[in-house]
Amino acid sequence: MIGAGKKTRSSELSSYNVAIVGASGAVGGELVKILAERDFPVGKLKCLATSRSQGKEIGFRGRVYQVEETRRDSFRGVDIALFAGGAASLEFASAAVELGAVVIDNSSHFRLDPRVPLVVPEVNPEDAAWNEGIIANPNCSTIIMVMALAPVHRAAGIKRVVVSTYQAVSGAGAEGLSELRNQAEAFLAGRQYPSRVFPYQIAFNLIPHIDVFQEQGYTREEWKMVLETRKIMHEPDMRISATTVRVPVFRSHSESINVETFAKLDVAAAHKVLAEFPGVVVTDDPAVKSYPMPLDASDRDEVFVGRVREDPTVDCGLNLWVVADQLRKGAATNAVQIAELVVRGNHFPSRR
């Protein structure tokens, strides 16, 4: 249930009590790191996870915190609860809201709920203001794409988008990283290593299938990119077609995006609007083979755009190559940026 809760703490606090649910996982670890890097005003920190991780130690700003098992009463006194994703969101998000916290959720459970804002702070920060206790963090590939689409849409209006993704194995968590590493070592040694995380061998291979297949032969990952982009950009009829592919890259997702616009936008104009958009870096100089790559984007917060070309098959079209770290801007950094919006705007339903 999405509700306002009953907290009555002053809106003029200089620090905020923060809980991280899933703190021992890949995204949870990034959340801890980014809260420190961005100097978020954390008063007290709670590191929560399943009972399997209870007792693990996590360092934050010179202190060591022990991971506690997540319970429904874990959120008493918490201002902001950052959920790293997974089943915990369905089980505990409502409890956190009832106790007065604003939940920023990395799972897919609430993204398409019309009562829940779906926010990329550079694109639709205003939506954070109307939250009823939960704000959803979009899918990583969606975040990366809309960061490139938003400035193009504002400048020329988007008529149609065709996107193909090249998604790193870390999108499947620590197990995905281990499977690629182990399979590559086994393959080079002439041995077999079974596929458990991915449906087929990922080492030295591409798998054009992420998440489960749904209607019209598209996967859930592909429909996320369609439906979430429409919601974030307030364009319910925007025409988007997506193909999502898992590639043997450890970290950072890449996307090839073809955009058809209503007004003409040449390469120079596209470079300008992209470079001026917060969080986007244009890396595009074919003469010196300058273009974004996953290795360069890893452990960075920026979204990198290159290979900008006019599409000669339509009157108004562009091709873009977009790369970003899906664990940071595609997940943890975006979540912390949402928390910053909440704090700056005092968007706490329990204090209205």
Query: Which member of 47, 140, 153, 347 is catalytic?
Result: 140
CA dihedral (48, 331, 219, 88) in degrees, to 10, reads 10
Q: At what angle do helices 140-156 and 220-232 cross, to 10 degrees?
A: 40
Q: Which of 47, 253, 316, 347 is catalytic?
A: 253
For β-strands 239-246 and 158-167, DSSP reports them as parallel
Q: Is 234 a catalytic residue?
A: no
Told to judge if 140 belongs to the known catalytic residues of this protein, a careful annotator would answer yes
**Catalytic positions, written as ranges:** 140, 253
